[in-house]
Structure 1
Amino acid sequence: MARVTDIFVADAGSEPMRSVDHVEAVAGGLRGDRYCEGRGHYTPFDVCEVTLIAREDLERIDEELGPSLAAGEHRRNLVTEGVDLHDLLDHRFRVGEATLRGTRPRPPCAHVEELAEAEGVARALGDGRGGICAEVLDPGDITVGAEVVDLGSTDRTDDIVARLRSED
């Protein structure tokens, strides 16, 4: 079963991430998180409403890098296990009571490395290990342990082509 193993939020840009047991996904992000509140480091230039990263990738990073990023130094909101996050891009998926849509990969940045105070963090989060961004489609609570369920692609191309063929 794919699930959420950790949840992190930060009150404002550059503030330490703090671990929480639950969070409310609302239009614009996660209630109480810096980007939802308009206080993120990159607001308004590069905002991801919700960021996700795979526990499996964090474990590989820990092996390569030495210092652990498990306490939120990765600067991502939801840590998952049992799901390839890239499979959720352009898909709707449920996390707990909320429905999200994977919008794009989340590349690492120098700011993450600066805040982690560990050389190589940005490089370690590269190669597709930086997670993904998602937008909130339907609000709801997300708790540690919540199941992650892929609800299918948001790409309607196949549906449109099938409909056009049936009209011929």
Structure 2
Amino acid sequence: MKGGRSNVVLIGMPGAGKSTVGVLLAKQLGKGFVDTDVVIQSVEGRTLQDIVDGEGHLALRAIEERALCELDVHDHVIATGGSAAYSDAAMAALRRNGVIVYLDVPWSEIEARVTNLGSRGIARAEGQTLRDVYDERTPLYEHHADIIVDCTGLTQAQAVERVAAALEQPAASGK
């Protein structure tokens, strides 16, 4: 990676594999790993779903934005929550020291992977389906990404290899 940005920031839908791929990628690249959903839960002392249930999806987004803007790590792979891309401020903060990588997984695979919609802590409006969320967020992920990695049909190990290869490309220095 070029430009002095030492972090790799994974964005994408719930079920895209950000946390799982992130751990494996960090191990392969010799970097630390942080899952921002876990950071939020630790700081807040409650689950993401508890935040959504108690205060609503916009409260979770605000908490997430604050956590991402305050995150200060170097040489890490960062797995963000699926709603991180709603915040331009958070994405700008992450980009200052990181390359933003969108794990692009098609709807059919997201639908098959995310079976716990009511308990997963997804920041979505009341009545909003997972498909609605997918359609709303996809352009945001594409907009914020320095690198888009097509993960269609890939195993976790294959996704790690594809991300690592993409990071080696000269264009990986990002926006």
TM range (shorter): under 0.3
Between structures 1 and 2, the one with greater helix share: 2
Structure 1 length-normalised TM? 0.23
Between structures 1 and 2, the one with greater strand share: 1
Structure showing greater radius of gyration is 1
